[in-house]
Amino acid sequence: MSRLAIFGAGRIGQIHARNAVKLAGVDLVHIVDPIAGPSRDTLAAETGATVSDAESVFADTSLDGVIVASSTDTHADILIRAADAGFPVFCEKPISLDFGRVEAVAQKVSATGVPVMLGFQRRYDASFRAVRDRIASGAAGRLEHVIMQSRDPSPPPASYVKTSGGMFRDTAIHDMDMARFLLEEDVATVYAVGSCLISPEIGKAGDIDTLMITLTTGSGRMAQVTNCRRGPMGYDQRLEALCSDEVLFVENQPQSTVRIVRPEGATTAPPENYFLDRFAQAYRDEMAAFVAMIRTGAAPLATLTDGVEAQRLVEAAIISHQTGAPVQFSPDWRP
């Protein structure tokens, strides 16, 4: 039996907790969330977990692993405490909004030798993974240029952007990770432009709602990312990878495959509503990978280092956006 604890019973904590208990031989023992309410208490009742406090978790020597799905500003402390207690950790991104802290935490946690997996669920999506595997196999030829669109259906409340890390540290971090996952080469330049075109409230909160980032690698290959808080056709999550022998596309997943044909034309179902629907299977697969990491030591697809490196790119993108100039990036670059 693998005995787990989870911090955070919010939006993503609910998904991870429910996915964890569906896995064979997994027992969710503790749920920690300071906000008493239906989301925490219903989740506890449904999963059979006890509502606990953090100290009880760190003192429970029977535990096999900890899931960190709490608010972003709590990840770093919980990660350190869990690693010090010797528990393998699944940690949601970002590790911290402060890059200095990200690196300090990563060093400290790495020194414990405890395995850590980062919540970059797109790496577990069957389509994104198939693209990566095909490129890695050599069947597609050389990847030269990758284009990614990541557009939310509508803007979040301004209060969310203040605490989440906003367009760069909360959202674009997934795309920076996917660019690294596919390119597998050190990035040489980072150039970002952004505007507030959709939500004046987001602008007042100090963030942008429309962003384009261009990365180049040492050998001159490129990645282009667009992030946007508006998707007129719904959640829009696509990728195009131009390789020397073929082009690989990841399209949006429709809500159904029904096509209605009338004399005036055909209609198809819209894309999955949001990331929670689009990546439902990827969230299940990453939780299974976390349990496999605990049981067999199987390396996860997203590590602590991947969390640090994706965020280092994000920090460069922020500086590029602020200065209007490309950032010359290297393994030694720091914000």
Ligand X SMILES: NC(=O)c1ccc[n+]([C@@H]2O[C@H](COP(=O)([O-])OP(=O)(O)OC[C@H]3O[C@@H](n4cnc5c(N)ncnc54)[C@H](O)[C@@H]3O)[C@@H](O)[C@H]2O)c1
Q: List residues binding ligand X (CB under 6 A).
A: 7-13, 32-35, 69-72, 74, 92-93, 119, 121, 164, 170, 275
* Exposed e or buried b per residue across 62-83, where buried means at least 16 C-beta atoms within 10 angstroms of its C-beta: ebbbbbbbbbbebbbebbbbbb
Nearest CA to 216 out of 313, 293, 319, 80 is that of: 313
Taking the least distance from each CB to ligand X, the nearer of 174 and 221 is: 174
* Exposed e or buried b per residue across 160-199, where buried means at least 16 C-beta atoms within 10 angstroms of its C-beta: ebeebbbbbbbbbbbbbbbbbbbbeeebbbbbbebebebb
Give the CB-nearest residue to ligand X.
10
Measured from the CB of residue 301, what is the shortest distance to ligand X in angstroms? Answer: 13
Measured from the CB of residue 193, what is the shortest distance to ligand X in angstroms? Answer: 24
d(CA 87, CA 109): 11
What sign does the CA torsion over 180, 217, 99, 311 have? negative
> Cβ of 119: how many Cβ atoms within 10 Å?
25
Nearest CA to 185 out of 216, 164, 163 is that of: 216
Nearest CA to 318 out of 188, 193, 150 is that of: 193
Nearest CA to 63 out of 41, 86, 84 is that of: 86
Taking the least distance from each CB to ligand X, the nearer of 119 and 194 is: 119
Taking the least distance from each CB to ligand X, the nearer of 159 and 323 is: 159
Taking the least distance from each CB to ligand X, the nearer of 93 and 221 is: 93
Side-chain half-sphere exposure of 166, counting CA atoms within 13 A? 22
Measured from the CB of residue 145, what is the shortest distance to ligand X in angstroms? Answer: 26
Measured from the CB of residue 121, what is the shortest distance to ligand X in angstroms? Answer: 5
Taking the least distance from each CB to ligand X, the nearer of 89 and 243 is: 89
d(CA 230, CA 223): 21
In sequence order, which residues have a C-beta less than 8 Å from that of residue 237 and are 6 or more positions away?
149, 150, 151, 250, 252, 271, 275, 278
Measured from the CB of residue 51, what is the shortest distance to ligand X in angstroms? Answer: 11
Measured from the CB of residue 69, what is the shortest distance to ligand X in angstroms? Answer: 5
Taking the least distance from each CB to ligand X, the nearer of 52 and 189 is: 52
d(CA 54, CA 52): 7
Taking the least distance from each CB to ligand X, the nearer of 71 and 255 is: 71
Measured from the CB of residue 332, what is the shortest distance to ligand X in angstroms? Answer: 27
Measured from the CB of residue 140, what is the shortest distance to ligand X in angstroms? Answer: 27
The residue whose two tokens read 């959640």 is 235
Nearest CA to 210 out of 199, 201, 220, 218 is that of: 199
Taking the least distance from each CB to ligand X, the nearer of 191 and 279 is: 279
